[in-house]
Structure 1
Amino acid sequence: MRTLLLLLLIGLHLGAPIVKSEDLSFNRVRHFDAIHYKIGLRFDKKRNRVFGDSELTLRPLSKPLSYVELDARDIDFNSITDHDTGKQLEYEYNGRKLRIKLNETLRQFQNITLRFVYSARPRQGIYFIPPSVDGDKVLRSAQIWTQGEAEETHHWLPSYDFPDDKATTEQIIKVESEDDVIGNGKLLSNTLDEDGTRTFHYKMDVPHSIYLSSFVVGRFLKIEDRYRDIPLGYYIYPGGGEIAAKAFGKTKDMMRVFEDLTGVKYPFNKYDQTVVAGFPFGGMENITATTYADTEINMAGNGGAEIVQDLVSHELAHSWFGNLVTCRNWAELWTNESFASFMEAAYRERTNGRKDYLRKIRADTSEYLAYNAATEVARHGLFNTSADPEDDLTMFDPVTYNKGSAVVHTLREEIGDTAFWKGINLHLTTYRFDNVETKDVRETFEKASGRSLGWFFDQWVYRSGHPKISVRQRFDRRTGILTLTFKQKAVNSQVGNVLYHLPLDIFVETSEKQYRQTLLLSKKSQQLAIKTRIRPQLVEIDRDLKIPVKDLSIAPLEIK
C-alpha cells in the first residue's frame, strides 16, 4: 500500500517500546487453518448495508477443535450452520469476536465448512461512495469498494483477519445490472439474473492473506491489454482513456523488469488496476486487483507523471513483496513495504540509469529525515514494535516506506549486486505463498552472501533512528597530512546513544591526485590521516550514497 503524502506528514506517534532482540514475537496464536472462503454478497446502497451468505472451510492445525473463534465486527447474524449437515451451530458473539461451538469435535486433517447468513452496516472494510453529479449529468457512478489492510475485512466477513493465514477465495457478488464488479482472480461468470440484477463470480485459487481480498463495484471503462498470457485490465471512468495510457501504459514493462530483476515470473493469473473515489491511500495491492485513488492517478495528466509511475510500480511490486511472500504479523510490515518501495527505485534504475535510481533513494531518505526531525522522541524501527492495526499512522509512515527503501539499498551496497539479487530470488522462492519474519529475511541474505548480517539487521532494522556524523577536517602544511576526525551519535534511538557500524568511503581530491579510502566507523570518535602533500580541494564522505540514512555534517577545512 502506498500512502498519500498528506498522510505521511501527519500524526506523530511517539514512544515506541524498546526492542532488544529478534526473539520478540508479535504473532497471533492460531488453532486452525482457513482453507477457502466462499463469499456471497448483495447490497442496499441507500442504507449502506451489505447482506452476506458466506462460507469458510477450515481444519485444525494440530489439536482437535471443539470451538472456532473468528473476527467479526458489528455483524448481525441470521444463522450459523454446518454446511454439510445443515445443522444450526451454537455461538457466542460480543460484537468483535465470534465463538462457534462445533456439534462434533474436529480432528486433525478433518475439514468443516461453516455457513454464515448475516447483514452488516460496516463502519470500515466496505465503503459506499455516492455518485458525482452536475445537475442531471452523472460525472461518476456510485461505487462500493473494499479496503482490507490492516484488519478491516472482518467488518463485513466473519474471518481470521490476520496476515499469517492464507486461504483461497471465491466471490459471488450480486449488483445492479449496469454495474461492473472487479474482484480477485479469474472471472468465472457474469450472469444477468431474472430479477434484473447481475451476478459476478470470481475465484482466486492461490492462497492469500484475507486482507488482500477485495472488490470494487461501479461503472467503468475497461481498457484491456496483455503481458504474455496474463490479461491486464485498466478500469477508469468513462472518457479517461488518455489518463489510463499515461498512468498504466508502462505496466507491461514494469512486469518484465521485475521478473528479470527477481528471477520470478509474475505469480498470478491476471492483473487489474481500478480507480475509485474517496480512497484514503494512494493505492492498495489487493491480490490481482490493485485499487487506486482517482486523485492520485489523475496526476498523470497534471504534471505528476513521475509520482504516478512510482505509485504504479510500487503496487505492482507488491505482487512479489507482500502478496506472493507476506509479512507474518504487522510488526513485520517492512518486509512488504520497504521492498516494494525499493523496487520503485530499481525500476527507475533499469529504465533511466543509476543516476535516477540514486535520486529516488536520496528523495526517500530526505522524506524520512524530515519526518524524523519533527520530534526528538524515538520512533519505531523497521521492525515495528508499536504497530497497531487499528491505527494506520503507527504503521504506514516514512519509516516503513522511505527509510525502509534506503535501508534495502544499503543492504544491496553492503553485500554487492550479485548476492543481493540472489537473495531476493531466494527470498521469493523459499517463501513462495508463505509468510515471513525479519529473521527469515536475514537468514536468506546471509545464505546468499555467505556473510553474517546480524549486526546489519540489529542497527538498521531492529533499531529506530539513524546515525548523526560530524566530520572535522584539518590540513597540516608542514607534514602534508589531512586529518579527518569523525564523531557519531544515534538520533532518535530507542536504546540510547548506541554506536553504529559504518563502512564509509572517503574521497579526497587535490590539484594533483585523487585519494580513496574506506573507514570503518564503529567508535564514538575516530580519526583518519591521509598524506596528500598539498591542500585538498574536495573532501567527500560516502559520495556514492552507499549509506544514505544518516545525518552528515562536514566542517570547513582548517589549515595550520
Structure 2
Amino acid sequence: MHKYLLSLALLAVYAKANAQALVPAVDVQHYTFNITLNDQDDVIKGQADLQLSLCRDVNSVTFDLDGKAANGKGMQVLAVTEGGKKLNFTHTDDKLIIKTAAKSGTNHTYHVTYSGIPADGLIISKNKYGDRTFFGDNWLHRAQKWLPCVDDVADKAGVDFIVNAPAHYSVVANGLKISEKQSGDIKTTHWHEDVPVSTKVMVIGVADFAISTPEFINQVPVNAYTFKQDKSNGFKAYACAPEILNFYNQQIGPYAYKKLANVQSKTVFGGMENASNIFYYENSVDDRAIEALVAHEVAHQWFGDAATESDVAHVWLSEGFATYFTHYYHEHKYGIDSLKKRMMVDRTGIFAFEKERMTPVVDQTKEKADITLLNNNSYQKASWVLYMLRHKLGDEKFMKGIRTYYSTYKNGNAGTENFRDVMEKASGQNLEQFFKQWLYTAGHPKLRISYETDKTNHGIHLHIEQLQKYVYQLSVDLKVGSTRFTADMRDKTLDLNIAAPTEAGELVADPDVRLLAEYEIVKEKTK
C-alpha cells in the first residue's frame, strides 16, 4: 500500500514537471534588430533588443543563435544587459542562455550585442550583374543563423529592423519605413512592423534597388524593388500584384499588413513569402509564369504569414493553401478550364512523387528534416484536398469556412484539427473521415472500373474495385455519352446497374476533374 501511494506521488511530481516543460518559458512580444553592414567584408555587427514576457518561473532564459564554427562563420555574443546591467550568459550548442532568475508574468527586455559572419540566414553575395547584395532567408529555422531569437513558427512577435549600410544601398524590410538618415557614407534605415509575425518571415533586403511608384489597394501601398538593370522588366513583371492582393482581400478577408513590397532578390527559394516583403528569385523578372508565382506568394500573406501553422508537420496549411488559392485566382481570371488543367498537372506530379516516397500530408515523423516536408504532398496534394473539400461542401460553405478560419487565426497559429473544426462548424458536416483519408493517410485511390452494356435496354452494369490497401470513402463521377451519374463508394468494391435510357459510348471517369484518383477502365463484352 505504501509503495503504491509512493508511486502515485512520484507520478504526480513527474506529470507536473513534464507539463511545465511543455509550456514555453518565453513569449517574445517584440524584436528590435540594429544591424550594421559594410562593403569590406561579410562581418555584420548586431544589437538586438528582445522584449518578452515569461510564462513560468525561470532561472535562465534561452534564445536560438548559431555560434562560431571552425570555419570562422557564425555569431559571437559580446555582451548581454538588462536595463544597463550586465548579465552572465553562455553561448554553446547554438543556444544563448542568459543566466537570470525571473518570475512568471514578468516582462523583460534583454539587450544583446554580437557580431560575426552569417553561415546562412542572411545571404551576402553578388547578384547576376556582379553587384553586392544582402538578403534575409530565414525559412524555416535559419533566422538563428544571424539573429538572436526564439526561432519557432509558433512564437510570433513584432519587429523593427534598423539597418546601417553604405549609402549607395536601399533597404527594404517588414512593415513600414519610418525613417532614413544619412551621415557621411552611412545611411540608417528604420523599418517597423507592429503586427506579430514568425521569425521565418522576418527579413531585410539590401541592394542597389530601383523602386517603383506604389499603387494603393485599400490604402495599402504595393510596389516593386528590382535590381536597377532590371527596372523595366521587373516593374512590369510584378505589376500583377495589386490585382491579386485585391482579389484575395475580397475573397478571404482583409490583408494583415500595411504594405506589400515585391522584391527581386538572391536567396535559396524561387519565392519566399516574407511578411509584407516578398522575395522572388533574381530571374523571376523574365519568368513567363510570374503571375502564378506572385499569386502563390501573395496568398501566403494570408496563409502561412498571418494564419500560421502551429508546427512544421502542418506546413500544408501554408503551402497547400497558397498552391490552391493560386489555382483559385486563375479560375477567377481565366476560367474553369484553366483550373482543371492546373489540377490535372498537379495530380500527375502527386502520383509520380508517391512512387518515390509514400508519406501522408500531415507528416509527423520527427526525424524528417524541415526542408523535406516541402514536397508534392504539402503543396500539390494539400491543394487537391482543399479543392475536393470545396466540391464536397459547396462553394458557399467552403468559402465561409475559409474566411472564418482566417479571421479566427489571423496573427496566430493553427493546426490541422483547428482547421477541421472550423470547416465542420461552417458546413454542419462531420469531416473526420475526409481528413483522415486525405491528410493523415499516405497514398491515393486506384480504381478499376469494368462495365458492360445490355443489348436489350442499353443499361450499364459497373463493377468498381479499389486496388490499394486502404479503403477510401469517395464519390466518383462517371459519364457515358451525355449521361452522367455518381458512384458512392464506402467499401472496397461496388456494383452498380444504371438503367436505360442511356446513350452508347465509352465510359469516362471523373469528367470534371474532381477526384484525386487513378483509373483503370475496362469495357467488357456486351451481353
TM-score, normalization by structure 2: 0.91
CA 1:441–1:220 in 2, change beyond 3 Å: closer, same or farther? same
CA 1:249–1:130 in 2, change beyond 3 Å: closer, same or farther? closer
Select the residue among 266, 273, 276 that pairs with 1:285: 273
Tell me the SS of whatever aligns to 2:118: coil
Select the residue among 227, 238, 246 that pairs with 2:228: 238
Tell me the SS of whatever aligns to 2:460: strand
Instruction: State the Cα deviation string for residues 429-484 of structure 1 (Å, max 9, x = none).
Output: 11121100000000000011010000110011111211111111122324633211
Q: 2:262 maps to what in 1?
A: 273
CA distance in 2, matches of 1:297, 1:30: 42
Tell me the SS of whatever aligns to 1:559: coil
Contact 1:122-1:156 at 8 Å conserved across structures: yes
CA 1:409–1:28 in 2, change beyond 3 Å: closer, same or farther? farther
CA distance in 1, matches of 2:374, 2:508: 34
Q: 1:20 maps to what in 2?
A: none
The reply to whether residue 460 of structure 1 matches residue 460 of structure 2 is: no
Instruction: State the Cα deviation string for residues 21-73 of structure 1 (Å, max 9, x = none).
Output: xxxxxx97512210010101112444322211111011112x22321111111
How do 1:33-432 and structure 2 match up within 5 A? 33-61=27-55, 63-74=56-67, 75-82=75-82, 84=83, 86-102=84-100, 104-108=101-105, 110-130=106-126, 132=128, 139-194=129-184, 196-226=185-215, 227-262=217-252, 264-277=253-266, 279-299=267-287, 304=288, 307-373=289-355, 375=356, 377-378=357-358, 380-386=359-365, 390-392=369-371, 394-432=372-410
Q: 2:71 maps to what in 1?
A: none
CA distance in 1, matches of 2:398, 2:345: 22
CA 1:28–1:270 in 2, change beyond 3 Å: closer, same or farther? farther
Q: 1:3 maps to what in 2?
A: none
Contact 1:330-1:389 at 8 Å conserved across structures: no
- Percent sequence identity is 25
Q: 2:479 maps to what in 1?
A: 507
CA distance in 2, matches of 1:458, 1:311: 30
CA distance in 2, matches of 1:414, 1:201: 48
Contact 2:37-2:166 at 8 Å conserved across structures: no
Q: CA deviation at 1:350?
A: 1.0
TM-score, normalization by structure 1: 0.86
CA distance in 1, matches of 2:237, 2:127: 23
Contact 2:320-2:378 at 8 Å conserved across structures: yes
Q: 1:135 maps to what in 2?
A: none
CA 1:28–1:308 in 2, change beyond 3 Å: closer, same or farther? farther
Select the residue among 472, 492, 511 that pairs with 1:543: 511
Please tell me the residue identity of whatever aligns with 2:115. Answer: S
CA distance in 1, matches of 2:519, 2:502: 25
Q: CA deviation at 1:428?
A: 0.7
CA distance in 2, matches of 1:483, 1:256: 50
CA distance in 1, matches of 2:521, 2:426: 36
CA distance in 2, matches of 1:387, 1:45: 41
Tell me the SS of whatever aligns to 1:48: coil
More helix per residue: 2
Contact 1:36-1:167 at 8 Å conserved across structures: yes
CA distance in 2, matches of 1:28, 1:464: 29
Contact 1:235-1:273 at 8 Å conserved across structures: yes
List alignment gaps of at least 5 residues for structure 1: 1-26, 133-138, 491-496
The reply to whether residue 559 of structure 1 matches residue 526 of structure 2 is: yes
CA distance in 2, matches of 1:360, 1:33: 41
Tell me the SS of whatever aligns to 1:355: helix
Q: CA deviation at 1:131?
A: 5.3
139-148 or 176-185, which deviates more? 139-148
Contact 2:134-2:205 at 8 Å conserved across structures: yes
Contact 2:212-2:235 at 8 Å conserved across structures: no
CA distance in 2, matches of 1:296, 1:387: 34
Higher relative contact order (CA 8 A, sep 6+): 1
CA distance in 2, matches of 1:281, 1:395: 14
Q: CA deviation at 1:391?
A: 4.5
Contact 1:234-1:272 at 8 Å conserved across structures: yes
Q: CA deviation at 1:255?
A: 1.3
Contact 1:45-1:128 at 8 Å conserved across structures: no
Q: CA deviation at 1:219?
A: 0.2
Q: CA deviation at 1:534?
A: 6.9
Contact 2:125-2:134 at 8 Å conserved across structures: yes
CA distance in 2, matches of 1:30, 1:485: 55
Please tell me the residue identity of whatever aligns with 1:55. Answer: D
CA 1:440–1:323 in 2, change beyond 3 Å: closer, same or farther? same
Instruction: State the Cα deviation string for residues 218-277 of structure 1 (Å, max 9, x = none).
Output: 101111222231112201122423322442122111112111211x12221000011123
Q: CA deviation at 1:105?
A: 2.0
CA distance in 2, matches of 1:155, 1:148: 8
Q: 2:495 maps to what in 1?
A: 527
